[in-house]
């Protein structure tokens, strides 16, 4: 997931500290917001298919719920750490605040590798995770959702277990459910589309027409696929994608100078977003090292995989042609690399703004579930467009008015809103 020397939580705290200085926050507010309100660490015992017995470690971190119930996904990953979960929970707090939805920030995770687990074993992990935190989550307290290597099926198992424990139907407990089981139309597209809604607005500010731009994308999971789909729909051309290869335990970049064919690549992609290398070669794609995506001579970079991907070690490999970086992933750019991008004048759409489409649509699903009602897909996506566009304009206007870097402007808005909620509640 990241190098041993990288600590996502320390990075998240450093980003917060910078903005706390800009806002001149008092020490009490700083102490409250730079750490989670609550954490749950627990063991999940599972009887494996081969008859053995294995214990998995799980987490749920609730960073701040001053503005509403906690909201945040659950990751299954073999390199998961509690510090990564802490960072993601903090970023969720800022993400919900910047798009003005009445939710706080949480995150969950389990140290496991779904690639090597049967469906039954994964189901037992899901149900075990819920049993450990059922008293501390719920539709009006903390609402989970899918994240890296978890799916609608995982969410449904978790919902079923929660309802068994509660003894009542509670579809608003979790989001990212199958559409026929209380999920929201438009949810699968939401994060990727949200990235492109903000990218569209950034291109307008830079007087760039989408049809005159090219992009390189890291990742080929749900976020990347739908970002590519909408970007191509508005006229853009993606020439390179990078993804993890489970067979070789490494990543590769797939390039086609004339532009990738999204449907063609999706036809040779597994459920974890891994592209079949041999088939890609047959279809005329150049197969390059995994980090080649960042070196492409394009106008736009869209990192949509995991954290710690644009660093001081590779930031200078970014082409001078790159005008925009739209962060589809959480925490893909380290502070050292961010400083270089700022100095170069690259327009960075920060992660907790660019990828807030997912949590925004999760909020829509939560509302629909609590009402026992659903909206049509076009209604959901139009509401999402309005929310994302409004949030982008608010951040961009503040950045211009106060001559701030976009990331700093987004943080100023988010942290100010959360700090105000904490003060008004009398917490600090």
Residues 76-108: tens digit of each pLDDT = 999 999 999 999 999 999 999 999 999 999 999
Domains, the chain, in order of start with CATH, read 38-184 (3.40.50.10860), 188-354 (3.40.50.720)
Pair of tokens at residue 168: 């009542």
Using 70 as the pLDDT threshold, list the residues of the chain that sit under it: 1-4
DSSP state of 281: H
**What is the secondary structure of 38-83 as a DSSP string?**
EEEEEEEEEE-TTS-EEEEEEEEEEEE-TTSSEEEEEEEETT--HH
Distance of CA 13 to the CA centre of its chain: 18
pLDDT of residue 122: 98
Residues 323, 341 contacting (CB under 8 angstroms): no
pTM, two decimals, is 0.89
> Does residue 107 have an active-site annotation?
yes
Q: How far is CA 51 from CA 85, 97, 115, 179, in A?
A: 31, 47, 19, 35
pLDDT of residue 4: 55
pLDDT of residue 1: 45
Q: 71, 95, 107, 256: which is the annotated catalytic residue? A: 107
Distance in angstroms (rounded) separating the CA atoms of residues 99 and 393: 11
């Amino acid at each position: 997931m990241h190098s041993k020397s990288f600590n996502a939580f320390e990075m998240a705290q450093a980003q917060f500290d910078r903005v706390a200085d800009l806002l001149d926050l008092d020490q009490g507010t700083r102490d409250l917001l730079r750490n989670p309100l609550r954490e749950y660490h627990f063991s999940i015992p599972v009887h494996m298919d081969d008859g053995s017995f294995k214990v998995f470690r799980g987490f749920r971190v609730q960073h701040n719920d001053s503005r509403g119930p906690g909201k945040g996904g659950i990751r299954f990953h073999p390199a998961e750490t509690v510090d990564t979960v802490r960072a993601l929970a903090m970023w969720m707090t800022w993400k919900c605040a910047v798009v003005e939805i009445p939710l706080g920030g949480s995150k969950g995770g389990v140290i496991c590798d779904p690639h090597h687990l049967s469906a039954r074993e994964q189901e037992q992990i899901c149900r075990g995770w819920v049993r450990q935190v059922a008293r501390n989550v719920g539709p009006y307290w903390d609402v989970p959702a899918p994240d890296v290597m978890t799916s609608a099926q995982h969410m449904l198992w978790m919902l079923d277990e929660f309802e068994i424990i509660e003894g009542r139907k509670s579809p608003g407990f979790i989001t990212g459910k199958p559409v026929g089981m209380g999920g929201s139309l438009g949810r699968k597209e939401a994060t990727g589309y949200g990235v492109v809604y903000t990218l569209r607005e950034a291109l307008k500010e830079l007087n760039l027409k989408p049809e005159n731009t090219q992009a390189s994308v890291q990742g080929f999971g749900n976020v990347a696929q739908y970002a590519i789909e909408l970007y191509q729909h508005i006229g853009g051309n993606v020439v390179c994608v990078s993804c993890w290869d489970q067979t070789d335990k490494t990543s590769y970049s797939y390039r086609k100078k004339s532009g990738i064919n999204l449907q063609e690549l999706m036809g040779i992609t597994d459920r974890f977003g891994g592209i079949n290398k041999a088939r890609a070669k047959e279809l005329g794609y150049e197969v390059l090292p995994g980090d080649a995506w960042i070196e492409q001579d394009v106008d736009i970079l869209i990192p949509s995989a995991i954290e710690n991907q644009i660093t001081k070690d590779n930031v200078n490999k970014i082409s001078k042609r790159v005008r925009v970086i739209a962060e589809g992933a959480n925490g893909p750019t380290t502070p050292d690399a961010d400083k270089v991008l700022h100095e170069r004048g690259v327009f960075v759409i920060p992660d907790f703004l660019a990828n807030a489409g997912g949590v925004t649509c999760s909020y829509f699903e939560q509302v629909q579930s609590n009402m026992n009602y659903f909206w049509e897909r076009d209604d959901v996506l139009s509401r999402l467009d309005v929310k994302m566009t409004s949030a982008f304009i608010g951040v961009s206007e503040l950045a211009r008015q106060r001559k701030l870097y976009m990331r700093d402007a987004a943080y100023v808005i988010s942290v100010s809103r959360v700090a105000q909620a904490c003060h008004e509640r009398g917490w600090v």
